[in-house]
């Protein structure tokens, strides 16, 4: 047994140690990196922040929509699957399923009991809503777009450090998964659209069993990658794809339209089939020692304070409503209110707001809500002498990553009125 | 469908303040980093989203609803 201090880890090499009778497994356990406050490049990997859909089940739409913070649902037809936060079935003792470092087309499961070092408060339950016959070139995914600024040190595409000493550098995706159907699923890494540069891996799901997965992925040395506020890398769990966009080689970066590996499970094609995920972590490994170990065992899921995780999410989504209160709720709690004492009776009111959760990734899409209307695009007007006057059409302009201007369109307001706006601001990056 | 919203301060000079998406009354900034603005630009060319990365061409192109006449600024009392 040897201990190696690596670029971003402290490695415990148990090569030649017998585990469950298997000799020379080359198990390489990552112990370190927890000192790095952003070790896990996935945000909200334990689904502990849910500003958008508190307590709600979310169905996919055509294109994309979002469930818990940072997690997207993508699909070619609406209503193929849903997601909900669950806390009634969480991983305890579990097995570890690993992909070989240098032979990603192969994989193996190490069936010794992993020590349970922590629990998870929530998981995401993805559920098929029908026995969908997937249309030509259609696909369905659960995904997270990782901002380029959050992976810029990994040097995708060899812009800077490259592969020092000629060695491949690695990142490691780990997660807990419990599907209802046994079989192979596709996990996919890809450059942002319109690039089709992709890396796909088979992971074997065991029906109704929590397994922790460990997937080493070589840092690609070609293609153009973002290191700014746009999407740098997207991580996807394929929930189904037509045969016309399925195929290709697992464990290889390549330009391909195939988003799923052939023969893998189409979750959306089995009514009520489920997949549960939690503890999702993407950590940067860098170079590995020579000889290259056979397996990589991920370090523990990084515990960040809830406040820290919440603040990371605020870069992509903020709202006036209190945490736990969904948009459309008729409430003045958190409402942004401005008074106007000009004495004018037919005017507009302009309200410059700075995002209270701090600067966002970029200029967000802003939706305004009043108090009474079931229609978005409203603000609420009060008058000092007669009370509430009701919802009126309202707009947001001059939107930036730090501020925006809200205004009410011309209407008879009465003297000395107040205008109130409930709002949500969405700055999730594009795919 | 989308509608042009003039800037409330400089709209008299034709400056656009945001794009209103009528389906959900969302105000979209004119910024290439914004995902909804990117989709709006594709919509102008006749594309609709398909999956999370793709678009499908469904028409020759689209035009947004023009902006309302520039609203008056409040006068000093």
Give the least confident one: A368-372, A406-410, B11-15, B63-67.
Answer: A406-410
Averaged over B1-21, what is the pLDDT? 90
Residues of B in contact with A429 (CB under 8 A): 33, 35
* Tokens at A64, concatenated: 């994309």
On whether the CB atoms of residues A50 and A69 are closer than 8 A, the answer is yes
Please check whether residue A328 is in contact with residue A374, taking contact to mean a CB–CB distance below 8 angstroms. Answer: yes
Q: How far from A364 is each of A423, B33, B36, CA to CA, in Å?
A: 11, 9, 9
Q: What CA–CA distance (Å, rounded) separates A424 from A404?
A: 12
Q: What local confidence, expressed as pLDDT, does residue A343 receive?
A: 55
- Residue B23 in contact with partner chain A when CB distance is under 8 A: no
On the question of pLDDT at A22 being above 70, the answer is no
At residue A374, does pLDDT exceed 90? Answer: no
Q: Which residue of B has its CA nearest to A192?
A: B53
Q: How far is A402 from chain B (nearest CA, A)?
A: 13
What is chain A's mean pLDDT, rounded?
A: 84
Looking at per-residue pLDDT, the higher value among A59 and A214 belongs to A59
pLDDT of A9 > 60? The answer is no
Does the pLDDT of residue A375 top 60, yes or no?
yes
Mean pLDDT in residue range A122-133: 97
Q: How confident is the model at residue B23 (pLDDT cuts 50, 70, 90)?
A: very high
Q: Note whether A74 and A67 are within 8 A (CB).
A: no
Asked whether the beta carbons of A142 and A83 are under 8 A apart, the reply is: yes
Interchain CB contact of B40 with A (< 8 Å):
no
Query: Highest mean pLDDT range out of A48-52, A155-159, A389-393?
Result: A48-52
Neighbouring CB atoms inside 10 A of A86's CB total 16
Mean pLDDT of chain B: 86
Beta bridge partners of A268: none
For A417, half-sphere exposure in the C-beta direction (CA atoms, 13 angstrom radius) is 26
A63 and B75 within 8 Å at the Cβ level: the answer is no
Residue range A62-81: average pLDDT?
95
Greater confidence (A124 vs A2) lies with A124
* Digit-coded pLDDT (tens) for A264-278: 999 999 999 999 999
Q: Tell me if chain A has a CB within 8 Å of the CB of B3.
A: no
Query: What pLDDT score does A414 carry?
Result: 59
Q: Which helix (H) or strand (E) holds A236?
A: strand A231-241
The Cα diameter of chain B in Å comes to 53
Confidence category of residue A255, pLDDT binned at 50, 70, 90: very high
Residue A13: pLDDT over 80: no
Sign of the torsion formed by the C-alpha atoms of A313, A319, A321 and A326:
negative
Q: What is the pLDDT at residue A303?
A: 85
Indicate whether A354 pLDDT > 90: yes
Lowest mean pLDDT among A287-291, A329-333, B12-16: A287-291
User: Looking at the partner chain, which of B29, B48, B74 has a beta carbon nearest the beta carbon of A363?
Assistant: B29
CB neighbours of residue A28 within 10 Å: 26
Dihedral pair phi/psi, residue A39, rounded to 5°: -55, -45
What would the two tokens of residue A361 be?
């990734």
Going by pLDDT thresholds of 50, 70 and 90, the confidence category of residue A340 is low
Closest among A409, A413, A405 to B71, alpha carbons compared: A409
Per-residue confidence band for A427, with pLDDT thresholds at 50, 70 and 90 = very high
Structure tokens at A408: 């009410």
* Residue A143: closest CA among B45, B35, B51: B51
Q: Which chain B residues touch A400 with a CB distance below 8 Å?
A: 29, 31
Q: Distance between alpha carbon A222 and the CA centroid of its chain, in Å?
A: 24
B49: chain A residues, CB-CB within 8 Å: 62-64
CB under 8 Å to A352, separation ≥6 — which residues?
A398, A403, A404, A405
The larger pLDDT score, comparing residue A197 to residue A372, is at A197
- Choose the weakest-confidence range: A82-86, A187-191, A289-293: A289-293
| Residue ranges of E strands in A246-345 | 254-255, 274-287, 317-319, 336-340
Please identify which residue in the block is written with the tokens 């007669």: A386
How far, in Å, CA of A19 to CA of A27, rounded?
A: 9
Residue with more model confidence, B43 or B10? B43
Whether B64 shows a pLDDT value over 90: the answer reads yes
Q: What is the pLDDT of residues A161-214, one digit of tens each?
A: 655 556 788 899 999 999 999 999 999 999 988 888 999 998 889 999 888 888
Residue A34: pLDDT band with limits 50, 70, 90: very low
| Burial of A361 (C-beta count, 10 Å sphere; 0-12/13-18/19+) | buried
Whether the pLDDT of residue B72 is over 60: the answer is: no
Quick check: A76 pLDDT over 50? yes
Residue A11 in this model has a pLDDT that exceeds 80 = no
Smallest CA–CA distance, residue B35 to chain A, in Å, is 4
Using a CB-CB distance cutoff of 8 angstroms, which residues of chain B are in contact with residue A395? 5, 8, 17-18, 20, 27
Query: How far is C-alpha A291 from the chain's CA centre?
Result: 34
Count Cβ atoms below 10 Å from residue A326 Cβ, excluding itself.
Answer: 15
Q: Is the pLDDT of residue A23 over 50?
A: no
pLDDT at A359: 96
Q: Has residue B70 got a pLDDT over 90?
A: no
């Amino acid at each position: 047994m040897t201990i190696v201090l690596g670029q971003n880890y402290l490695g415990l090499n148990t090569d030649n140690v017998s585990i469950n009778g298997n000799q020379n497994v080359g198990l390489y356990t990552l112990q370190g990196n927890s000192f790095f406050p952003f070790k896990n490049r996935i945000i909200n990997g334990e689904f502990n922040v849910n500003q958008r859909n508190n307590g709600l089940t979310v169905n996919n739409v055509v294109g994309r929509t979002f469930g818990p913070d940072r997690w997207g649902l993508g699909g070619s037809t609406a209503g193929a699957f849903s997601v909900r936060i669950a806390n009634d079935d969480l991983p305890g003792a579990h097995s570890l399923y690993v992909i070989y470092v240098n032979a990603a087309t192969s994989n193996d499961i190490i069936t010794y009991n992993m020590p349970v070092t922590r629990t998870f408060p929530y998981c995401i339950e993805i559920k098929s809503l029908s026995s969908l016959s997937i249309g030509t070139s259609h696909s369905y995914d659960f995904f997270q777009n990782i901002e380029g600024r959050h992976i810029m040190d990994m040097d995708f595409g060899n812009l800077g450090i490259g592969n020092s000493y000629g060695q491949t550098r690695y990142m490691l995706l780990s997660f807990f998964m419990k599907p209802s159907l046994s079989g192979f699923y596709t996990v996919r890494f890809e450059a942002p659209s319109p690039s089709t540069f992709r890396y796909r891996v088979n992971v074997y799901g065991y029906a109704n069993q929590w397994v922790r997965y460990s997937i080493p992925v070589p840092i690609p040395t070609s293609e153009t990658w973002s290191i700014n506020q746009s999407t740098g890398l997207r991580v996807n769990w394929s929930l189904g794809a037509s045969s016309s966009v399925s195929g290709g080689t697992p464990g290889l970066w390549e330009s391909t339209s195939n988003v799923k590996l052939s023969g893998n499970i189409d979750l959306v094609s089995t009514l009520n089939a489920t997949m549960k995920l939690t503890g999702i972590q993407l950590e940067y490994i860098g170079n590995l020692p020579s000889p290259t170990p056979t397996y990589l065992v991920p370090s523990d899921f990084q515990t960040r304070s809830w406040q820290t995780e919440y603040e990371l999410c605020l870069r992509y989504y903020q709202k006036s409503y209190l945490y736990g209160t969904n948009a459309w709720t008729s409430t003045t709690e958190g409402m942004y209110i401005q008074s106007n004492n000009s004495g004018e009776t037919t005017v507009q009111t302009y309200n410059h707001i700075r995002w209270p959760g701090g600067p966002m990734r970029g200029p967000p899409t802003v939706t305004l809500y009043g108090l009474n209307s079931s229609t978005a695009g409203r603000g609420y007007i009060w008058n000092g002498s007669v009370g509430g006057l009701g919802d009126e059409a309202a707009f947001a302009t001059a939107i930036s990553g730090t501020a925006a201007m809200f205004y009410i369109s011309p209407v008879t307001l009465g003297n000395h009125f107040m205008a109130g706006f409930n709002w949500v601001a969405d700055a999730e990056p594009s795919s | 469908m989308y509608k042009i919203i003039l800037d409330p301060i400089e709209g008299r000079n034709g400056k656009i303040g945001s794009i209103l998406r009528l389906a959900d009354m969302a105000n979209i900034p004119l910024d290439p980093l914004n995902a909804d603005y990117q989709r709006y630009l594709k919509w102008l060319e006749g594309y609709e989203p398909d999956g999370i990365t793709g678009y499908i061409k469904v028409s020759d192109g689209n035009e947004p609803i023009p902006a309302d006449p520039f609203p008056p600024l409040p006068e000093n009392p």
